[in-house]
Amino acid sequence: MTSTIYKALFTLYLISLLIVNSVVAQTKKEADLTKATTEFKSLRYVSAIKELSPILNVDTGNVKAQEMIAYSYKMIKNYEEAMYWYEKLTKASPIKPEWFLYYAEALANNQQYERSEALYRKYYSLIPSDKRAAAFSTSNLNGLNKNLGNWKVGFTNLNSQGSDYSPIFYNDGLLFTSNRASKRFSRRIFQWDMIVEV
């Protein structure tokens, strides 16, 4: 009789342990996704990717995490990774129309124009009011090479590791926007594509 009671108590203990472990694992998973979402919503895309990658290694079907990582890669201009994640998303259900748009943009930025045009057409069929999709879905791909060789694009001594953009001439000089770290101008740095240590 006592051995039956011990077996029952031991079984109850094991079940309780499994339940507690399951609750702890679920809570950690939710906390990790919350942290990743916070980084994403704060436009710290590199940091969001860092937080989302382990989540997606464990939970490969997490559409919310896939959407955030795809968009993050798009925003830091890593089009190869963006294409990978948007391809997965366009096979998910229910499908958001903007996934086709973002996938098409990533493909176009990776010079895969025919595939891009097909996805623009798909997006246009879902959102016919979007004029961007209308223009891109009927583009002349042969026209892209029309002026090939007429322009030379290269780096200057102004280039840096930071994101520099919007140059304008001002007082015999050049003004531009940058996320370069500098104590001389501003201490607030937009962390869109920077790794943030916390």
35 alpha-carbon distance from chain centroid:
15
DSSP classification of residue 142 = G
Q: What is the pLDDT of residue 198?
A: 39
Token digits for 81? 């990774």
pTM: 0.65
CA distance 4 to 44: 57
**What is the rounded end-to-end Cα distance, in angstroms, of the chain?**
57
Token digits for 133? 């999709």
Q: Decide: 174 and 167 in contact? Cβ < 8 Å.
A: yes
Element (H, E) at 174: strand 173-178
| pLDDT tens digits in sequence order for the chain, 198 residues long | 567 776 766 676 667 656 655 555 555 567 678 999 999 999 999 999 999 999 999 888 899 999 999 999 999 999 999 999 999 999 988 899 999 999 999 999 998 988 988 898 899 989 888 887 777 766 666 666 677 777 777 777 766 777 777 888 889 888 887 777 666 665 555 566 555 443
Token digits for 15? 């079940």
Identify the structural domains of the chain with CATH numbers, from first to last: 2-95+162-178 (1.25.40.10)
